[in-house]
């Protein structure tokens, strides 16, 4: 799938102003960055969110 196909013309027509589109893009960027950071944390800790750790330390910083 090409990146251009992710948002078709009908989807983009829902935005009536540049502000609406800008707001949507900011939210999309925020969600994307949060997911990237979660993935980085999973890779660093070597276990996913809501999974048990191999040691006594936990994701929330308390042991």
Report the greatest alpha carbon distance in the chain.
Answer: 52
Please tell me what DSSP assigns to residue 16: -
DSSP state for residue 39 in the 8-state scheme = H
Residues 6 or more apart from 48 whose CB is under 8 A from it? 42
pLDDT along the chain (63 residues), means of 10: 84 94 96 92 76 64 55
The model's pTM? 0.64
Position of tokens 């936990």? 58
User: What's the CA gap between 49 and 41, in Å, rounded?
Assistant: 9
Q: At 59, list the tokens.
A: 């994701």
């Amino acid at each position: 799938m090409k990146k251009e196909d992710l948002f078709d013309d009908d989807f983009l027509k829902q935005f009536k102003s540049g502000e609406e589109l800008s707001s949507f893009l900011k939210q999309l960027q925020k969600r994307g960055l949060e997911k990237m950071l979660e993935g980085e944390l999973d890779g660093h800790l070597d276990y996913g969110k809501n999974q048990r750790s191999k040691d006594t330390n936990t994701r929330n910083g308390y042991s």
